[in-house]
Amino acid sequence: MNDRVLNFRFDKRTPERLDKFLVGQLQEFSRSRIQGLIADGFVDVNSDTAKKAGQTLESGFHVTVRIPPPAPTDLIAEDIPLDILFENDDLIVVNKPAGMVVHPAAGHASGTLVNAILGYDPELEGIGGEERPGVVHRLDKETSGLILLAKNERAHRWLQDQFRLRKVEKTYLALVDGKPPTPSGRVEAYIGRDPSHRKRMAIVPESRGREAISEYRTAESFKDHTWLEVHPITGRTHQIRLHCAFLGCPIVGDQIYGKKHPSIKLGRHFLHAYRLKIMLPGEKKPQIFEAPLPDELARVLTSLRAH
């Protein structure tokens, strides 16, 4: 497969950065992807290889972009059943089960959501990057629920922007040990890598972390537990799990940030991505997707209500 070659002429009176100009011309690509093409020598200005993303264009300049085909990967398409809740030409909405990793990584070379989605739709290979085709956002391995996968570059960029600009309304359901200090509230606590355990995250000072905001409300109270509805405003790694632990009410079954010996035998942590409200490409009204609470979590609630 050969490179795709595109030619543009810059006709604006006011000079402009090369990457900014190309973002407007190649709307299916993110700014970072365009900057990568420039850095890798795939962009020419007036027949010379572009020097940098911030190179200034002036009226009459010619820009040539070569878009290479997706690099071959080691990803294997696998025939793994998927619970697909919605699909159109731009995206697939999947209800991910607990125990499934989103994309291959060390220790998880197969059996992931990416392996499954490539088995379902091989055309997704290369969308948004070779290693994580179609992936827009992530869920932890033991977190069940809604996850979106883009089917083309334009949709991938659009959906990523919706998450990055905090335009997506996310609702998670969590059962926690004990209860939060107030029935509802807002947590603002910075998150960064745990300096003592590199595979864990931690609440850290502002200078060492990234802003993380979650809002919550009590959905139901029990003797020793509370069922919460959590709305993460940001999307940091392990955010809800850390914020619940920070409030003094860790998620049931979370043996990393909560009790080492779970208060309820479950085999996973009680966290479920229940609802997403998001504007889809080309639509004027947001769509709402919901994934029902898995049976093993629903049974826990039934048992608690019986006591």
* Tens place of pLDDT per residue across the chain (307 aa): 567 889 999 999 899 999 999 988 887 677 777 888 898 888 999 999 988 999 999 999 999 998 876 554 567 889 999 999 999 999 999 999 999 999 877 667 789 999 999 999 988 877 776 556 788 999 999 999 999 999 988 899 899 899 989 999 999 999 999 999 999 999 999 999 888 887 789 999 988 888 999 999 999 999 999 999 999 999 999 999 999 999 999 999 999 999 999 999 999 999 999 999 999 998 999 999 999 999 999 999 999 999 8
- Cα dihedral across residues 63, 69, 75, 81: positive or negative: positive
Cα 115 vs. chain centroid, distance in angstroms? 17
Give all strands of the β-sheet with 61-67 in edge-to-edge order: 4-10, 61-67, 43-45, 48-49
pLDDT at 131: 59
pLDDT at 25: 86
Architecture of domain 4-67: Roll (3.10)
pLDDT at 287: 96
pLDDT at 193: 85
Residues of the chain with CATH 3.10.290.10: 4-67
Q: What angle do CA 64, 68, 69 make, to 5 degrees?
A: 145
Beta-strand relationship, 213-221 and 184-188: antiparallel
Interatomic CA distance for residues 47 and 31, integer angstroms: 22
pLDDT at 130: 55
Residues of the chain with CATH 3.30.2350.10: 84-164, 169-305
pLDDT at 170: 98
Q: Which fold has domain 169-305?
A: Pseudouridine synthase (3.30.2350)
Instruction: Identify the bridge partners of residue 146 per DSSP, sorted by sequence position.
Output: 95
Q: What pTM does this model have?
A: 0.78
The catalytic position among 140, 177, 194, 254 is 140
- Indicate if 224 belongs to the active site: no
Q: Which CATH number is 84-164 given?
A: 3.30.2350.10
pLDDT at 63: 95
